[in-house]
Every structure is written in C-alpha cells, then in structure tokens.
Amino acid sequence: MEQIVTITEEAALQIKDMMKHNEEEGAFLRVAVKGGGCSGLSYGMGFAHEVEEGDSELEQHGIRILVDKDSIPILKGTVINYKQSMMGGGFTIDNPNAIASCGCGSSFKTATNAGTPEDC
C-alpha cells in the first residue's frame, strides 16, 4: 500500500526539535490540505492532541502523524523534507498530485481538486 505521506529523516529531526521547543512531545503531527492560496489549495502542518473521526494515523521516525480523510487522496505519495541552506532552513513538500503551484511554494492544485484560489 502506498504511503499517504512520507517524512524524511531530516524533516523528522526538525519536527522533533520543534516539538521539544514548543513542549509538544507526545503530540501528533497533523498534515492537512485546505482551500486557499493563489493556486487554490495550501498545506497545513501543526501539532494535535486528539485523533478525529476519519483520521488516518501513521508513524514514521517516531513521529505519530494524522491525516484527515479529505486530505488523503490529495496528499497520497507526498514527501515532506527539511532542507538547510545559506538563507536558513525550511520544509519542502513534494506532492506528485500537484499539477500547478505558485511562486510561494505552499499553494497548489491537483487534476481533480482546484480548491479556492485567492490573490497572492
């Protein structure tokens, strides 16, 4: 079965650091898609403390991940990485379902879901 979301080891280390810094050890990492952004859909990541109805629960690199049922088909096969550069670091999201994205890199659309585009 194809993974819904894959978190690289680099991203997992960064997420664990963020959990420790924010006193969120033991929390879930919720990965979601919501309407908005200039291409129609945008990614969301945050900490959650409860599994909601319809959530899929995964575990990678010791991180418990939640994905809501509406986000699953949009995120299937997505890889979340963390890259460090001279300008600092940040998460990168490689979604094979995205057919268009905008310059900000956090907004996209898929062949089956255009979302609700907004101005950048």
CATH number for the segment(s) 5-110: 2.60.300.12
Domain boundaries in the chain? 5-110
Q: In this predicted structure, what is the pLDDT of residue 86?
A: 83
Rounded Cα distance, 83 and 55, in Å: 28
Q: In this predicted structure, what is the pLDDT of residue 84?
A: 87
Residues of the chain with pLDDT under 50: none
Q: In this predicted structure, what is the pLDDT of residue 35?
A: 79
Write down the mean pLDDT value for the chain. Answer: 86
Torsion of CA 17, 20, 26, 28, to 10 degrees: -50
